[in-house]
């Protein structure tokens, strides 16, 4: 049975939050207020009252680290969609998950037997493909979404309250596994900080919108839905206003774009944004995308998700017999899953199942995203997506986005140390020398 444990928290956290709640209305410096004698009950009462008034920012000073042990990938995906959190997850690219185990919902005897039979067959196929020399990052597409995940998460108290509310009364409450984990967090939180976690939570109204749509699978695609008009002009204007207090200066736009991108604090890039409809992304690829915190990501409800095919990695596609077996396993699993008719069929989704999502990123996050995801060490699916997106960006604003690409291209060296691909010159040629005209195509 999976569990979550609060393994660390801010010392004297309710005293700290009480001091923070007092500073705006109490004489004295921050340290003087903090160093006063704070009775435990008084601190709890003050924090609780401030929360009830809606001033939740005061509890953002308290932080918690959570350890999730042997929970399903559904829980992992539920958690990483919370933006104000830090995560470290056991990688399915590098770790063999053959014996990692899986979550089983509460099912009747014969249904449970069939469920376990389906899941264990997928693990057998995963082991088979590993034995045939298929990389772990490709064989994992056959693993089910009930696969055990282990990870750490660090959040402040306000975000932890948000997580508990979503798990116990919100979108996660329809899944007993998530609801139980939320209840556990709530009970642990009340013991550590009763003033914060005994304050009532708001129940969330159930979404009523339902629709039936035809879904069709296919190749990975990034369709840009919207973007800031004349992004280079806006970046230039905000640079001149912010750093030169005017926009009348004569400047070389290309040189200015370089200065912004090389800045340690490129706030000008935050003024422009881009929205994509990402089609046919695998659930495994969704995990890579969702790990980027500074974006607005829309993911379909797993309880409403429709099957639209599965990803086909080149390592399998290029071997006829393995390709046929992979396709057969996916087809047979899909049929068996439908026949089983589980209410929570999400646990039998494959990591290779395809999904459509929408994301909006500002220019600064895109600079970070491209630096990591166009790197040769990035997983190939997310790298292909990043290159599609960068190609489109360079068509819209070539003088700006010529300075976007992997670390070795931007910085002139690879930060990966011994893990470097050793192909810096090839990467600079691929993305275009930054001192020359940018090549917007990727072959």
Coil vs helix vs strand at 221 = strand
Burial, 386: exposed, middle or buried (Cβ in 10 Å; 0-12, 13-18, 19+)?
A: buried
How far apart are the C-alpha atoms of 50 and 57, rounded to whole Å? 10
Contact 309, 350 (CB under 8 A): no
- State the number of CA atoms in the 13 A half-sphere of 10 facing the CB: 16
Place of tokens 């509460």: 106
What is the dihedral sign for C-alpha 291, 293, 299, 302?
A: positive
36 belongs to the catalytic site: no
Contact 110, 323 (CB under 8 A): no
For the chain, the C-alpha Rg in angstroms (whole number) is: 25
Q: Which of 92, 140, 373, 430 is catalytic?
A: 373
How far apart are the C-alpha atoms of 192 and 212, rounded to whole Å? 45
399: left (phi over 0), alpha (psi -120 to 50) or beta: alpha
The residues carrying an active-site annotation are: 373
């Amino acid at each position: 049975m999976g569990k979550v444990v609060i393994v660390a928290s801010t010392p004297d956290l309710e005293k700290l939050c009480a001091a923070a709640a007092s500073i705006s209305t109490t004489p004295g410096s921050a340290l003087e207020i903090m160093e006063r004698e704070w009775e435990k009950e008084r601190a709890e009462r003050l924090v609780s009252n401030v929360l009830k008034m809606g001033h939740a920012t005061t509890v953002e000073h308290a932080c918690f680290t959570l350890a999730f042990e042997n929970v399903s990938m559904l829980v992992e995906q539920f958690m990483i969609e919370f933006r104000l959190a830090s995560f470290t997850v056991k990688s399915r690219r590098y770790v063999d998950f053959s014996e990692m185990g899986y979550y089983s919902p509460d099912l009747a005897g014969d249904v449970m037997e069939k469920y376990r039979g389906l899941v264990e067959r997928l693990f057998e196929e995963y082991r088979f493909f590993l034995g045939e020399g298929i990389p772990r990052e490709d064989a994992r597409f056959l693993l089910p979404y009930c696969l055990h995940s282990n990870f750490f998460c660090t959040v402040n108290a306000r975000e932890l309250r948000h997580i508990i509310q979503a798990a116990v009364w919100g979108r996660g409450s329809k899944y007993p596994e998530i609801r139980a984990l939320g209840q556990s967090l709530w009970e642990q939180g009340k013991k550590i900080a009763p003033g914060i976690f005994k304050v009532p939570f708001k129940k969330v109204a159930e979404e009523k919108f339902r629709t039936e749509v035809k879904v069709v699978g296919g190749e990975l695609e990034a369709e840009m839905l919207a973007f800031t008009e004349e992004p280079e002009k806006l970046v230039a204007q905000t640079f001149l206003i912010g750093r030169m207090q005017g926009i009348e200066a004569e400047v070389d736009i290309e040189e200015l774009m370089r200065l912004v991108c090389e800045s340690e604090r490129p706030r000008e890039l935050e003024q422009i944004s881009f929205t994509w409809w990402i089609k046919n992304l695998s659930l495994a690829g969704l995990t890579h995308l969702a790990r980027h915190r500074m974006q607005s990501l829309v993911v379909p409800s797993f309880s409403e998700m429709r099957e639209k095919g599965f990803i086909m990695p080149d390592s399998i596609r290029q071997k006829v017999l393995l390709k046929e077996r992979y396709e057969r396993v996916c087809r047979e699993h899909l049929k068996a899953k439908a026949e089983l008719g589980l209410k929570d069929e999400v646990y039998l989704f494959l990591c290779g199942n395809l999904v459509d999502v929408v994301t909006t990123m500002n220019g600064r996050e895109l600079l970070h995203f491209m630096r990591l995801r166009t790197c040769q060490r990035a997983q190939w699916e997310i790298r292909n997506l990043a290159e599609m997106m960068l190609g489109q960006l360079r068509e819209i604003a070539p003088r700006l986005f010529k300075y976007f690409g992997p670390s070795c291209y931007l910085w002139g060296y690879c930060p990966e140390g011994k893990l470097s691909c050793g192909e810096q010159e090839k990467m600079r040629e691929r993305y275009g020398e930054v001192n020359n005209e940018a090549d917007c195509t990727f072959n």
